[in-house]
Structure 1
């Protein structure tokens, strides 16, 4: 406000207020949105629709920054690249992407997703117009959060961070999806109440079963559990705001 008043008083001649907005940004962003294409996502049409909204929101954010590329993948039993980094994401591209989601896969292979996304980011780095130091990459994963092989996923997440790829997992809690589908017991399948079972070597050298709270072993450092699916756009907007603020302070 202190900068706006002198600008107006000067008959709009002192335009220093806008210099930071018109100065070319050194940083470039590559954002990948990975959406779960399994059957569990289709239990609620609202969950599916809100997943679609994320694409529009991320696109808007990148367009405002004028320095970004967007890729979209679907994952379930397999990983499919629906939109590559090096193509503009316009309304026609958005329609093509949305038409390719089926939500019929019987499983969700997050390990395969991480392997594929790392390869896609590596390939996309070649097309970036800036240096590696000014290239910032973000992966947004939208799923119900149920994944196997936490130890391997943890290694993959660390490998991504070493390549300056931040992965944020937005968990559409099954209780929220069940509630939207009018399930009689929405808490039954909540990830908050899920346990993780593993087998470890005990003091006597024998294998023992270890039961832990599922989220205590969740391999993704940055995640948010969304228990109200209507809050997805708000959570995503705040995630992007915090990410760009973090990058801006570097």
Structure 2
């Protein structure tokens, strides 16, 4: 079987230069609820360690909340030191401004990093994994998402949610929208018709988050 031939395997082994992944974690106070923050850290650890072991890409880590902080850029020559990076996450940043500004800002920062390492090569696999509780301004983030998708760069949203019976689940979240006649009505926040992220997952059993990632 030619697929077992060592030369064939070497030639077809993924190159680090062809895969770029940035894991971005919400560092706001709202992530403290339901142990979301702690288990999100476990998820970040799981995905970055897996990428490093498999040697299938370059991994960056960013924090966002009241501001965006690239903790390890894709261009960093230093080895990935996760214990040191994860110490930057205290989940104590104000979340009021992050609903409108921080998520678009972290997506734009990811896009800039991808452009820096990939240049105009849009064939390189570029993945931005955003881990958050899902409270954000959809209109504010829409342009940033579309900009990345136009360059074949994939933003994926992982929403760490509370159980539906808690009353604080994102599935219970409503927003005011206008229909074609101009009338206002209440609609689910996660409506697929206007949700800006084409790829997202809602995790209510946060212990499963590392597996989903």
TM-score (norm 1): 0.71
Q: Which residue matches 2:108?
A: 118
Determine if contact 1:70/1:89 at 8 Å carries over to the other structure: no
**Mapped contact 2:21–2:128 kept (Cα < 8 A):** yes
CA contact (8 A) 1:75 1:109 kept: no
Paired position in structure 2 for 1:17: 5
Match of 1:213 in 2: 188
Q: Deviation at 1:18?
A: 3.3
Higher-Rg member (1/2): 1
SS of match in other structure, 1:22: helix
Q: Is the 8 A contact 1:174 1:189 kept in 2?
A: yes
Deviates more, 1:23-32 or 1:69-78: 23-32
Task: State the 4+ residue runs in structure 1 displaced beyond 4 angstroms.
Answer: 88-91
| Unpaired segments ≥5 residues, structure 2 | none
Find the counterpart in structure 2 of residue 84 from structure 1: 73
CA–CA distance in 2 between the matches of 1:161 and 1:114?
14
Q: How many residues are matched? A: 207
Q: What is the aligned partner in structure 1 of residue 87 from structure 2?
A: 99
Rounded to whole Å, the distance in 1 between the matches of 2:101 and 2:89 is 20
Determine the structure 2 residue equivalent to 1:42. 32
Equivalent residue number for residue 191 of structure 1: 170
Does residue 1:127 correspond to 2:117, yes or no? yes
Contact (CA 8 Å) 1:86, 1:124: kept in 2 or not? no
Q: Which runs of 5+ in 1 are unaligned?
A: 4-13, 177-184, 237-250
TM-score normalised per structure 2: 0.82
User: What is the root-mean-square deviation of aligned Cα atoms in Å?
Assistant: 2.8
